[in-house]
Amino acid sequence: MQDESQGTPRGPETTGRTLVLFTRNATAQAPDMLQQTAGISALMSPELGAEPVAIKDMAEDGVVYQELGVAVVDADPDQVQALETAVAGEQPVLAVEAERVVYAIETSEEAPPDAPPTAAPWPDTEIGTWGLYATGALASSASGAGIDVAILDTGLDERHPDFATRNPELRSFVPGEEARDGHGHGTHCAGTSCGSRMVFEGPRYGVATDANIHCGKVLGDSGRGGDQGIIAGIDWALASGCDVISMSLGSPVAWNTPHSQVYETVARRALDRGTLIVAAAGNESDRRNDRVNPVGHPANCPSIMAVAALDNAEKIAWFSCGSDPKSGQVDIAGPGVNVRSSWPIPDRYKAISGTSMATPHVAGIAALYAEAKGVRGLDLWAALIQQARRMDLPSLDVGIGLVQAP
Amino acid sequence: MTSDQPPAIDVVVTIDPDAVSVVTGLREAGMQVRETLTSAGVVTGSAAPDALAALRAVDGVQAVEPSRDVSIPPPEAPLQ
Domain boundary among A100, A116, A145: A100
Judge whether A355 and A367 are in contact, CB under 8 Å.
no
* Domain-embedded: residue A163: yes
Of A222, A224, A238, the CB nearest to B40: A238
Q: Is residue A113 part of a domain?
A: no
Architecture in CATH for domain B9-66: 2-Layer Sandwich (3.30)
**Are A223 and A296 in a shared domain?**
yes
Same domain, A210 and A62: no
Residues A318, A171 within the same domain: yes
Angstrom distances, CA of residue B44 to CA of A89, A219, A254, B66? 105, 17, 25, 10
Question: Cα separation of A63 and A17, whole Å?
Answer: 11
Nearest Cα residue in chain A from B80: A354
Residues from chain A contacting residue B44 (CB–CB below 8 Å): 228, 231-232
Are both A387 and A245 inside the same structural domain?
Answer: yes
Q: Are A210 and A166 in contact (CB under 8 A)?
A: no
Q: Encode pLDDT of A169-200 as tens digits.
A: 999 999 999 999 999 999 999 999 999 999 99
Q: Which 8-state DSSP code applies to residue A13?
A: P
Best of B11, B55, B68, B69 to disrupt the A interface (most A CBs within 10 Å) is B68
Boundary (domain end) residue, out of A85, A100, A115: A100
User: What is the Cα–Cα distance from A246 to A307, expressed in whole angstroms?
Assistant: 10
Residues A80 and A143 in one domain: no
For residue A117, being part of any structural domain is answered with no
Kindly report the CATH number assigned to the domain that includes residue A242: 3.40.50.200
Interval B50-61: pLDDT, tens = 999 999 999 999
**Mean pLDDT within B31-40:** 96
Domain count, chain A: 2
Q: Which residue of B has its CA nearest to A235?
A: B40
- pLDDT score recorded for residue A369: 98
- The gap between the terminal CA atoms of chain A, to the nearest Å, is 61
Burial call A58-97: b when 16+ CB within 10 Å, e when fewer = eebbbbbbbeebbbbbbbeeebbebbbebeeeebbbeebe
Q: Are both A269 and A344 inside the same structural domain?
A: yes
B6 interface with A at CB cutoff 8 Å = no
B76 close contact with A: CB closer than 8 A: no
Q: Are residues A86 and A155 in the same domain?
A: no
Residues A92 and A191 in one domain: no
Domain of A57, CATH number, reads 3.30.70
Predicted local confidence at residue B2, as pLDDT: 52
**A35 and A96 share one domain:** yes
Over B13-74, what HEC string results? EEECCCCCCHHHHHHHCCCEEEEEECCCCEEEEEECHHHHHHHHCCCCEEEEEECCEEECCC
Establish if A406 belongs to a structural domain.
no
Q: Do residues A184 and A201 lie in contact, with contact meaning Cβ atoms separated by under 8 Å?
A: no
What's the confidence (pLDDT) of residue A27?
82
For A8-62, what is each residue's pLDDT tens digit? 455 678 888 899 888 877 888 888 888 988 899 988 887 777 777 777 778 888 8
Q: Let me know if residue A256 belongs to a domain.
A: yes
Is the residue at A180 inside a domain? yes
Query: How high is the pLDDT of residue A107?
Result: 53
- Which residue of A151, A214, A231 to mutate against B (max B Cβ within 10 Å)? A231
pLDDT at A67: 79
pLDDT digits (tens, 9 = 90+) for A259-279: 999 999 999 999 999 999 999
**Per-domain residue ranges of chain B:** 9-66
Q: Judging by DSSP bridges, how do beta strands A212-217 and A148-153 pair with one another? A: parallel
For residue B43, name the pLDDT band (cuts at 50, 70, 90). very high
Same domain? For A311 and A185 the reply is yes
CB contact (8 A) between residue B41 and residue A269 = yes
**Range 215-234 of A in CB contact (< 8 A) with B:** 219, 222-228, 230-232, 234
Does the distance separating the beta carbons of B37 and A232 come in below 8 Å?
yes
A91 & A137 share domain: no
Task: Kindly state whether residue A2 falls inside one of the protein's structural domains.
Answer: no
Domain region containing A67: 13-100
Q: What is the DSSP letter of A211?
A: S
Write out chain A residues lying below 8 Å of B40, CB-based: 231, 234-235, 238, 266, 269-270
pLDDT at A108: 52
Chain B from 44 to 73: CB within 8 A of any A CB: 44, 62-63, 65, 67-73
Residues of chain A with pLDDT under 70: 1-11, 105-114
Q: What is the pLDDT of residue A50?
A: 72
The minimal CB distance from B35 to the residues A183, A232, A357 is found for A232
CA–CA separation, A191 vs A202, rounded Å? 13
pLDDT at A46: 77
| Catalytic site positions of A | 153, 185, 356
